[in-house]
Amino acid sequence: MLDHINVVAAREVPEGMQEMITTNDLPLLAMEYCQGGDLRKHLNLLENCCGMREGSVLILLRDISSALTYLHKKRIIHRDLKPENIVLQHGEKRLIHKIIDLGYAKELDQSSLCTSFVGTLQYLAPELIEREKYTVTVDYWSFGTLVFECITGFRPFLPTWQPIPWHNKLRTKQKDDIVVYEDLTGEVHFSKHLPQPNDLNSLLSERLERWLQLMLKWCPQERGKDPNATPSDCFSQLEVILQLKLVHVLNMISAKILTYSVSEEETVADLQLRIEKDSNIPATNQELLLEAGLALEPHGLATQCIDGRRTDSPLVFLFDRSSCSYEPQFAPRTLPENIRFIQTCHKPILAYSPLRRTCGQAWHTIRSLKDDWQRLQQGQKAAIMSLLRYNSSLSKQKNEMVSMHQRLMAKLDFFTTSLHIDVDKYQEQTATGIGTTVLNCVSELEEEMMQLQPDIVDVQRQPWRSGEALDTLEGKAMELFRKLREKPRDQRLPGDSQEVVRLVLQAVQFYERKLRDFYTHLSKTAVCRQRVMELLPKVEGMVQSMVESEQVLMSLQERRQRELWNLLKVACSKVRSPVSGSPDGLPTPSSVPPLLTPRHSLQQL
């Protein structure tokens, strides 16, 4: 009995069902029900026309590799791994992929080879098609083909070709080639790299390219092994990839995402040194913000910005503290190969299959532009949240400064009133500067903060939030692609893709135009933040200065009080001392009432 979460499980046939359903002597086999449908249904969704999202690809890699490792340890070779034989189950936190149909044993004769080749046999390893001896490496080929399709949206090797020319052409590929495709002119190309567009980040794309080169080797003895790597087998290498802890940093200056693999011990300061090499922003000038506007501290761990509960990729936003002026530094976007061909060729007529793929690429390109725009908006929101946090700290310091100012003024008024008959003492107080320099600066700082607040309110209005045009263009491109996909087979005729390519060019022009407006607004936010950062230490310094002034004032008041009590002490001692020969017949000191306590004396005074 097989027992693995990623292999569909057998169930007991309910009592009585055997007699109700069986029409012959064959036994019934009950399997668990998976309500998510199969992977083919998922791949056929519009949004997966150019491959699945990165998070979904990683989940599939983890599930299917785990299932195959389990089956191979049980000495079971699946031999027919394809999207139709992977079903999806809704788990508590995510979709779970399960392998089904473990009973493939179909005899491959010439008729079955020709009739079932497209869409099914392309997942079979060459040695199975050639009826040669095989091992578990046939599952490596199928798994590699499946993963390639999930990443890009199409099978890697001439997916529309018939079996004999397909086989002959594919035999000529080099062992590291992972894709063989036909361009819009009919020319066949071989490549060792994942084609664009897809939704993988650059680091993951590079790692999976090397892994696919192992999985899609023509020679079964070499397939799945890399003698120059440790570990050398494909599943161990895939596990290393899946264990990567990736930090995605959006450079708000270049609008490019930088991806880094970090260790458990790596600090933010270590990460900043790596960012410095790629962005030319010195580590001391870098500010890394999370989505909520919280700044990463250099001594903190770099892994703190990785949220394992999310299937998407949370971003860290990179800003340059030394700059308050952001200028667009983006390079012209590289469009997919089919789109570039349509641009340069005068109204080409395409067969249905390349036409459908071109329309899908066009829609994906506009959708990617919209995603880029939304990520930049997230970065702007993070900058505003950071600004508001600092402004909140500034407001608290301002309130403390005003409160301290009022308290100090009250004490100063009391002290100066007490000393108004003592010119020397008053001059001594004036020399401390409490009533002049320190207190005059308070009103100046208050005025600066008052002038800053309208600008902070203004940047929160976000006048640059005008991405509705991208939504409209994406909707039009999606509708064109949907209608093309849903055409009946007898109506799938050649056509041109000028209209959808025109939508792509409009989207690119709009994006680049709005990007300039965006950076103008981002510069305003940076200026406000810089002003807040400059004011904050001034206000903190003023509060500290007034605390020190208060201490000086209290020291002077304490000294004055001591001097007053000393005078009282002298006066009282004179009253207590004997007075001889009093001419006025005053009472002797012995008849004077006892001296009052200081507290009672003050009350009488």
Could you tell me which residues are beta bridge partners of residue 250? 257, 317
- Tell how strand 246-251 and strand 256-261 pair up: antiparallel
With the C-alpha atoms ordered 569, 575, 576, 577, is the resulting torsion angle positive or negative? positive
CA distance 260 to 432: 56
Q: DSSP class of residue 38? A: B
Burial of residue 249, with CB atoms counted within 10 A of its CB: 0-12 exposed, 13-18 middle, 19 or more buried? buried
Total residue count of the chain as it appears in this document:
605
Catalytic residue of the set 38, 80, 199, 372:
80
The two counts, helices (H) then strands (E), for the chain are 17, 10
Classify residue 475 by its DSSP letter: H
| Cβ proximity of 549 and 438 under 8 Å | yes
What are the C-alpha distances in Å from 25 to residues 14, 28, 31? 17, 9, 19
DSSP 551: H
418/33 Cα distance (integer angstroms) = 91
- Note whether 253 and 320 are within 8 A (CB): yes
Is residue 348 reached through a cis peptide bond, with omega within 30 degrees of 0 on the bond before it? no
Specify whether 372 is catalytic.
Answer: no
DSSP 283: G
Query: Annotated catalytic sites, by residue?
Result: 80
